[in-house]
Structure 1
């Protein structure tokens, strides 16, 4: 279907070249670009209404007035409703037009328009939450009571207070608990809160008559109706005055309690859940401003909710565990929401090995995608959108930019939240302040749900598609673990580019806290671009995409070295086997999750296909002799063909039976067995010789001299 694109120079505040944009996009995609509007949202709104009634898809190059255009579409007779044909919007003002080099921004604007015209990614499965509004407020009694007043008409509330934290209302309108050592697990609609009740006063039995407060000479009891045991002298006058109610019992053992809740409002000074990404339905409010924001969200948190299932997981590719040995745990280590855990009970069979996988709890997953970026095998992949769809976006952006005459493109990956806001702030500041440059004409913004979700295969593919640089913008949204993970992965990708001889810094993590820092970072000099853009498409399989990308990068390099040394976090590499220590037991072969290690049915060999190795370390942790060491590198000898072929890591001549000369074991295995058993009195003389025989000869030897047969020989 044809897309009608409407552009507006926003009251002549930015230069736009409609014919150049139309030529770059082509007849169908460039429909409507022959006219550059000046006040599309006001005086020229009729042009939008005519486009809305045409039946074509409509793209408006303005996000400032998106709400107004949506309302105008609803009021236009003959226009399709938004439910049937949504109006698309793209920001070309702050991202390009309001820059000091806005007159050179036509290639960038054409690229942004082409990106906005791509169809939406295929829908993904969703994760459901169900909240009936049962909420727990934790913290100071007075603040908790105040929060309860603002929520009581919407939610079914309970309070959890600690001793000495404010006064409870005299009127009992809500269930009130008291306790310490509070622990919270779960998510929206499925929280489990546990605590320990140690105080002598049971709030369920307390009538708040205040007799105990009057009776206590030390003032150890306040209107939270809990006893400050550090002040109590054990005279027990409070017990006497409370005899009828029986709410006070100093001999009561500490009680552990646990209750389910749909929502949790934590008013503690320090959050009880310290994760960078707390679960949905948990709100922490240390001050009044945070409390008001939390109250507004809590009032709307009743009902059924959905979010995307952000990931796909293929257990067969997972390099986490084999045969009860732990290998790669990168995804578990990087997850700031603690949504990923090891699960040894998640067992299956792969190549004769018992494998244990991971479990990703979709209700806790916040969609950062860092797990998919650090996953070396591609067992975890991002789904919203998938890498193939994201690759199409990157390719469209860069190819359109180049076709329109753009040079030295820098791809700026940013989040749809804090990153987009900071870029918008930069564009608006550049409009009013002469010292601020704004987003340069060569910088192409690409939004993502989360910046950590785009990893090495897409960064390198962007370079292969013609990008001079790939920059990842991180603001205060991103957790420190994400920054470290992206930095490590970038070091590997940059090492590959530098090792192939491409000059400059192609990959950079931009950590900008304000407009000035971002403005400075975007002024970096271009790095060397490839001579020819790649024609391959990014695939859903991470490793397959990386192989396609490496082949193109090698073809464009002036000279290809035999190998490139890579950092430890590399998903590429080989193995070094200590031949003196290796017993050739081949347990590493069954442990390998990627099919990189193999034996030889005709010879006693340990072999490796280096292309398949993901450097998970399972072989090293499985090896009983500790004979295997990881060697992170990119082997490029013989045009890269060597890494795709079987290499012999270790080879030995078999140990032959001392009786019949039939090969039956490895020399190292016999050597180790003799070293362990040779000194034992049960294995002397003929018994020692039988250790060096094959199974058939051992039986013959035992029966030919039955007086020497011992239970250990059987």
Structure 2
């Protein structure tokens, strides 16, 4: 591949924090004849420096070679960074123009590792439940028994056990028959329940086969379960099983609860319906591929004994959460999008102390797979992706785009893809360009960016990339992504694109690319060769911040300042940018003045303090910048007077949305006794109207409704004293 190391070195020299050592010589046979050059570099680079190899194909070889080199720092103390320059650009048809991209990828690889985050631990003793028909469960159990503590649960196809296969005569493994009714938990902590209504208890059965000979209807086979649809009720089987007492037609259905560390499910329908099942659970359905899939599952299960950990991928700040207040549900975007069912509502106040914050969610870290989709759809930033966090990702974006621009690159397109299937497709596209004339390969202006999961980056970082000089952002989706992720990413991209179009930027800046495997390489190739979109004239040097809303504010300010057609911009600002309703994190609140009584229930419900009152006068005030369109105000309002309007209002250079404005204001209602204001006219009139027929609020009681709290107490006690005096005996 063409490689201009001098140009790359010049670009790195002008990038703050980047270094260009080691670029003096280009190696084309480093994994073979030139391996000693790598060994010399490995010995020269200390624990505090970076050793970067621009080849991913032989990563394992270089890792082993480093640790085998005397005087080299071990990989555990100084990891090697591997960067793919070949498939990502060097093997493209326009590889000669890919130098800016190569410089950007090398510069980004020199960034420090993300800050460590807390871990989530698992402990497995190897207790494994295998559930399926008799043939499959016994076969799988035999493959696992030398490594794991296996229990077999025979789940009959018709609930009877018949036709599920013959049981072996030897009782090598604990074996039960029944119907799986409940499975919860994760690796090392599965709670399993099954029920059994068959008269034969397999735990007591000695498999002497006497019952098979005794049954005149042939209702018992070598599954050692009775087909009740064929049983004639002779009970000959009970008589011949007298010693073992394994057959009892009067036995109540048994419900068994057990704990397991691992589960191998061989049934057609899995125990977990979500896209991503818990770690430690493997589903291998019947079919033509069962043998191969079973082999893969068995190999993985055999390794899951011991202690394991993973990063805690998310951070949660309850004070920012807009899910619920006072048992009213608002935003549930994270719960709806989670493909592992790791997030549940915590809206109830039952059992909570008065000092505890109301509402919120609960995220089970053991179930979390680290997709980050919840953080992408969270409008308030209460959930944020932690490894790497927004600041680390923002620094990476800024380094990539700044180095690319300084090296002479233009119209950069960032291509977010997963580290697994996405990276594989990028490699296949690069290799295909070498042999297929119809495939162009990854274009020179397209910068691939690997993520732990494509759903972990959302609107804040997409707009940050555009503000930092990118022309476009694309997200590559493969079979790894759940359908919920596709919908969520599409909705968020529609929001971001509406904002950019509303600001006057032309073209399609954001989009999803779907490619499942190598059969879609032609479509992927075509999707990457689209015309650039209009970007900013002057990129911002500001990186993303830890707070999602703060990042959005900073990037929106820059995009507004750099918006095309500056002369027309002031007039356009007065008109808000309409946003799609789905997934909107920006918007206004409209109040119906005829319905609103200024009870201020909405103020107490608003989790972001977007709605507020005025201590001096009856007012409802609104700060548009703080609104996340959660809808709690609308669901809380007793008069149904509130409507949400998704939009982005940038009047007065965006300052107007930061200032509180009055949504509704009325004259105060004054106490009929002391004239002190204590409510609003509409609220008092509404209260009087609703209580007009109540016997406790007639005559003097009705008048007290028009008094402030102090006068009401005074009036009540004075009238009580009068009654007592007049009732005294003469």
TM-score bracket for this pair, using the shorter chain length: over 0.9
Q: What pairs with 1:634-645 in structure 2 (closer than 5 Å)?
A: 634-645=648-659
Partners in 1 of 2:133 and 2:535 — Cα distance? 60
Cα 1:240–1:654, aligned 2, differ >3 Å: closer, same or farther? same
Matched pairs, number: 697
Retained in 1: the 8 A contact 2:573–2:652?
no
Q: What pairs with 1:93-132 in structure 2 (closer than 5 Å)?
A: 93-132=86-125
In the other structure, the counterpart of 1:444 is 447
How far is 1:352 from its partner? 9.0
Residue of 133, 142, 151 corresponding to 1:158: 151
Partners in 2 of 1:499 and 1:156 — Cα distance? 62
Partners in 2 of 1:323 and 1:252 — Cα distance? 48
In the other structure, the counterpart of 2:618 is 604
2:39 aligned with 1:62: no
Partners in 1 of 2:584 and 2:302 — Cα distance? 47
Partners in 1 of 2:75 and 2:401 — Cα distance? 30
Between 277-286 and 347-356, the greater mean CA deviation after superposition? 347-356
Q: What pairs with 1:261-660 in structure 2 (closer than 5 Å)?
A: 261-286=260-285, 287-344=290-347, 354-513=357-516, 514-557=520-563, 558=565, 559=569, 560-562=572-574, 563-568=576-581, 569-660=583-674
Structure 2: 5+ residue stretches without partners? 156-160, 725-730
Retained in 1: the 8 A contact 2:327–2:349?
no
User: Runs of 4 or more off by more than 6 Å in structure 1?
Assistant: 346-353, 707-710
Secondary structure of the 1:188 match is: coil
Retained in 2: the 8 A contact 1:323–1:354?
no
In the other structure, the counterpart of 1:83 is 76
**Partner deviation per Cα, 1:532-551 (whole Å, 9 max, x = no partner):** 10121211111111110011
Q: What pairs with 1:134-153 in structure 2 (closer than 5 Å)?
A: 134-153=127-146
Secondary structure of the 1:36 match is: coil
Retained in 2: the 8 A contact 1:413–1:448?
yes
In the other structure, the counterpart of 2:22 is 32
| Structure-2-length-normalised TM-score | 0.92
How far is 1:72 from its partner? 2.1
Secondary structure of the 1:552 match is: helix
In the other structure, the counterpart of 1:52 is 42
Retained in 1: the 8 A contact 2:151–2:174?
yes
**Partner deviation per Cα, 1:248-299 (whole Å, 9 max, x = no partner):** 1112111211100000000112222122111010011121111000000111
Partners in 2 of 1:695 and 1:96 — Cα distance? 76
**Partner deviation per Cα, 1:373-426 (whole Å, 9 max, x = no partner):** 011111111011000000111111111111111111000000000100111111
Retained in 2: the 8 A contact 1:413–1:473?
yes
Cα 1:627–1:351, aligned 2, differ >3 Å: closer, same or farther? farther
Structure 1: 5+ residue stretches without partners? 1-13
Between 674-683 and 583-592, the greater mean CA deviation after superposition? 674-683
Q: What pairs with 1:692-703 in structure 2 (closer than 5 Å)?
A: 692-702=706-716
How far is 1:77 from its partner? 2.6
Retained in 1: the 8 A contact 2:137–2:152?
yes
In the other structure, the counterpart of 2:187 is 188
Cα 1:23–1:665, aligned 2, differ >3 Å: closer, same or farther? same
**Partner deviation per Cα, 1:465-494 (whole Å, 9 max, x = no partner):** 111100011100000001111111111111
Secondary structure of the 1:183 match is: strand
Cα 1:516–1:505, aligned 2, differ >3 Å: closer, same or farther? same
Retained in 2: the 8 A contact 1:702–1:709?
no
Retained in 1: the 8 A contact 2:329–2:347?
no
How far is 1:366 from its partner? 0.2
Between 699-708 and 447-456, the greater mean CA deviation after superposition? 699-708
How far is 1:34 from its partner? 2.4
Retained in 2: the 8 A contact 1:99–1:439?
yes
Partners in 1 of 2:304 and 2:88 — Cα distance? 35
Retained in 1: the 8 A contact 2:398–2:465?
yes
Partners in 2 of 1:483 and 1:535 — Cα distance? 31
How far is 1:350 from its partner? 13
Retained in 1: the 8 A contact 2:326–2:347?
no
Residue of 645, 661, 671 corresponding to 2:685: 671
Cα 1:105–1:354, aligned 2, differ >3 Å: closer, same or farther? closer
**Partner deviation per Cα, 1:280-337 (whole Å, 9 max, x = no partner):** 1001112111100000011111001111110111111111111121111111111000
Secondary structure of the 2:309 match is: strand
Cα 1:377–1:708, aligned 2, differ >3 Å: closer, same or farther? farther
Q: What pairs with 1:195-274 in structure 2 (closer than 5 Å)?
A: 195-274=194-273
Partners in 1 of 2:31 and 2:353 — Cα distance? 61
Secondary structure of the 1:355 match is: coil
**Partner deviation per Cα, 1:402-452 (whole Å, 9 max, x = no partner):** 111111100000000010011111111111111111111000000100000
Cα 1:265–1:700, aligned 2, differ >3 Å: closer, same or farther? closer
How far is 1:670 from its partner? 1.4
Secondary structure of the 1:37 match is: coil
2:2 aligned with 1:15: yes
Cα 1:422–1:354, aligned 2, differ >3 Å: closer, same or farther? same
Secondary structure of the 2:494 match is: helix
Partners in 1 of 2:515 and 2:360 — Cα distance? 37
How far is 1:71 from its partner? 2.3
**Partner deviation per Cα, 1:184-235 (whole Å, 9 max, x = no partner):** 1101100011011111111111111111122222222121111122222222
Partners in 2 of 1:637 and 1:125 — Cα distance? 43
How far is 1:561 from its partner? 2.4
Partners in 2 of 1:695 and 1:355 — Cα distance? 28
| Structure-1-length-normalised TM-score | 0.94
